[in-house]
Amino acid sequence: MRKLHAIFPVLLFLLSTVSFAQVGIGTTSPEAMLDVNGTLKVRSTVNENDIEVIQDSILVISKSGIVNTVLANDIIDAALPTIVKASFSSGGPQTLSLTLGSSKITFDSEEVDNNDEFDLTTNTFTAKQEGIYIINAQIKVDPTLISVSTDYGIGIYKNNILIAEQSYTSVVVSVPLILTDVSTSPIRSLTATTDLSVGDTIEFKLTSSRLLGLPAILTVDVLGGKTDSNFSIYQIR
């Protein structure tokens, strides 16, 4: 009987420990091992000099209120403004069809994408941060392939809606007694400033006017050199 009396307090302690595995301060319904419903005051701390600990010792509060650790680099990356620059992976001509009046420009080679916002598979930029952005885009076609007057341009589409475009007709003129032709610039370029919310998309399309319901030109060969055809997106605020 004495042994049972000696064991009973131990069992009671163990059962109490299990029952109160979650401790609440300022709440009767704790949702974590320690759930504090209120402010926290720390009177003194010790400086940490271990670089490996410093890189992974930043505390953040999740949307559900749980305190987690996060890499220091992730904090920096999340706060960095967007910088994206891309072009074509191949320097050769990229043939784009205009039978439907427009065609997505398939930029597939990144030079810079610090927040990983441009998808090389879908050729679509998706904003991860709300802000104001400057967007630059340029294409160039081989001027020797323009044998007739052609109308084409480049457009910037936000959430699949055109927000900026440069398009005009390239006029080819044969000058008597001169072996070469004189034409307007084979380059189409534009700059746009727009505000983006998280999840907004940006795409670039080759465009052409239509005549009697038919495209003015069926295909365009866009030069793939990095200085010929490219785009950039910069977040300025």
pLDDT band at 91 (very low <50, low <70, confident <90, very high): confident
pLDDT of residue 59: 79
Which is more confidently placed, 165 or 64? Answer: 165
DSSP, residue by residue, 165-185: EEEEEE-EEEPTT-SSEEE--
Specify the residue for token string 């879908």.
Answer: 122
Q: What is the mean pLDDT of residues 134-157?
A: 82
pLDDT of residue 155: 94
pLDDT exceeds 50 at position 204: yes
Rounded (5°) CA angle 191-163-168:
70
Stated pTM of the model: 0.67
Q: What is the mean pLDDT of residues 13-40?
A: 74
Q: How far is Cα of residue 86 from the mean position of the Cα atoms in its chain? A: 12
Distance CA 235, CA 193 (A): 10
pLDDT of residue 14: 47
Which is more confidently placed, 78 or 45? Answer: 45
Residue 9, helix vs strand vs coil: helix
What amino acid is encoded at 233 in this protein?
I
With CA atoms as reference, report the closest residue to 35 among 11, 60, 6, 64: 64
Residue percentage of the chain with pLDDT more than 90: 37
pLDDT of residue 138: 96
Q: What is the mean pLDDT of residues 40-62?
A: 76
pLDDT of residue 203: 98
Residue percentage of the chain with pLDDT more than 70: 76
The answer to whether the CB of 195 falls within 8 A of the CB of 233 is no
Distance CA 153, CA 87 (A): 17
Lowest-confidence segment of 60-69, 78-87, 103-112, 184-193 by average pLDDT: 60-69
pLDDT of residue 157: 97
The answer to whether the CB of 205 falls within 8 A of the CB of 187 is no
Q: Please enumerate, as own/partner, the contacts of 192-196 that have beta carbons within 8 Å and a separation of 24 or more.
A: 192/134, 192/135, 192/156, 192/163, 192/164, 193/132, 193/133, 193/134, 193/135, 194/132, 194/133, 194/135, 194/158, 194/163, 195/130, 195/131, 195/132, 195/133, 196/127, 196/130, 196/131, 196/132, 196/133, 196/158
pLDDT exceeds 70 at position 56: no
pLDDT of residue 4: 45
Lowest-confidence segment of 98-102, 116-120, 168-172 by average pLDDT: 168-172
pLDDT of residue 153: 85
Lowest-confidence segment of 10-14, 105-109, 222-226 by average pLDDT: 10-14
Structure tokens at 162: 């055109």
Which is more confidently placed, 16 or 195? Answer: 195
pLDDT exceeds 90 at position 94: no
